[in-house]
A and B are shown apart, each in its own frame.
Chain A
Amino acid sequence: MTITLNHFSAAAVFALFASVVFAITHRDTTRDMVRYGLYCFVMFLGGVFVAGWAMWVLRR
């Protein structure tokens, strides 16, 4: 079985699972875990967009 993901979907999958692990391992309470997980997810995806636009600017 072969799965082909484009760059964005690969980054989104990575962000989702890495955020879950970071949230569980870096916070103590359930509430803090949810908040930190969402924060990490947004930061990962935000980083993808920022890096994407930075590369677009550099390419011009």
Chain B
Amino acid sequence: MANSTTEKRIGQAQATSVMSVVAPAVGWLIPGAGHMMQRRWIRGLLLFVSIATLFVLGLAMQGRIYKANGGDILDILGFVGDVGAGGLYIVTLAMDWGQGAIAFATADYGTKFMIVAGLLNFIAVADAYHIAIGKKR
């Protein structure tokens, strides 16, 4: 009986530890997916819609995407922000989108939209981790 309870607890701890790695990773790749795989469907969907819409709007506004660079500090920070969008960033780079020169103010807003979308996804990833370790419901 005692052994059965102990084994059950060990099993739960292992599942939690696996989820605490997988949920943030999947959540980074697909915004909101870290919540969805933990059965927070509505939260996950709202996160996906919010982050993806912000990122796509940024692209549609002719915003510029930052690539990995070792130059100006603002360029490096822009890259860090963009990377947060995960799969959206990877697809954008693969399709060679977001490469235009910023010619008007709206395009600069677009660039900031994409950076903010990535930063918001970092927050969503941290939240998915907190749910996985039981710190948040």
B contact face: mostly helix, strand, loop, or mixed: helix
Give the chain A neighbours of B106 by CB distance below 8 A: 3-5, 10
Instruction: Determine the interface band of chain B, counting residues with CB < 8 A from chain A.
Output: 20 to 34
Known: A10-B106, A17-B53, A17-B54. A24 touches B113 (CB 8 A): no
Interface-facing stretch out of B43-51, B64-72, B85-93: B43-51
Question: Is B137 in contact with A18, judged by CB distance below 8 angstroms?
Answer: no
- In Å, the complex CA distance between A13 and B51 comes to 11
Per-residue interface assignment for chain B, residues 105 to 137, with 1 indicating a CB less than 8 Å from any chain A CB and 0 otherwise: 110010001001000100110110000000011
Which of B8-16, B55-63, B74-82 touches A? B55-63
Which residues of B have CB within 8 Å of A43? Answer: none
Does A17 lie within 8 Å of B136, measured CB to CB?
Answer: no
* A7 / chain B contacts, CB cutoff of 8 Å: 105, 109
Residues of A within 8 A of B50 (CB): 16-18, 20-21
Q: Are B116 and A1 in contact (CB under 8 A)?
A: no
Asked if residues A20 and B116 are in contact (CB atoms below 8 Å), the reply is no
The one of A3, A4, A14 in contact with B54, judged by C-beta atoms closer than 8 angstroms, is: A14
A25 in contact with B109 (CB, 8 Å): no
Contact between B60 and A3, CB atoms less than 8 A apart: yes
With contacts A3-B57, A3-B60, A3-B61 taken as known, whether A10 is within 8 angstroms of B126 at the C-beta atoms is no
- Chain A residues with a Cβ under 8 A of chain B: 1-5, 7, 10, 13-14, 16-18, 20-22, 24-25, 28
20 examples of A-B residue contacts, CB within 8 angstroms: A2-B60, A2-B61, A3-B60, A3-B106, A4-B106, A10-B113, A17-B51, A18-B54, A18-B120, A20-B46, A20-B47, A20-B50, A21-B47, A21-B123, A21-B124, A22-B123, A24-B35, A24-B43, A24-B47, A28-B137
* Those 7 A-B pairs whose CB atoms lie nearest each other, nearest first: A17-B50, A25-B127, A3-B60, A21-B120, A20-B50, A10-B109, A17-B54
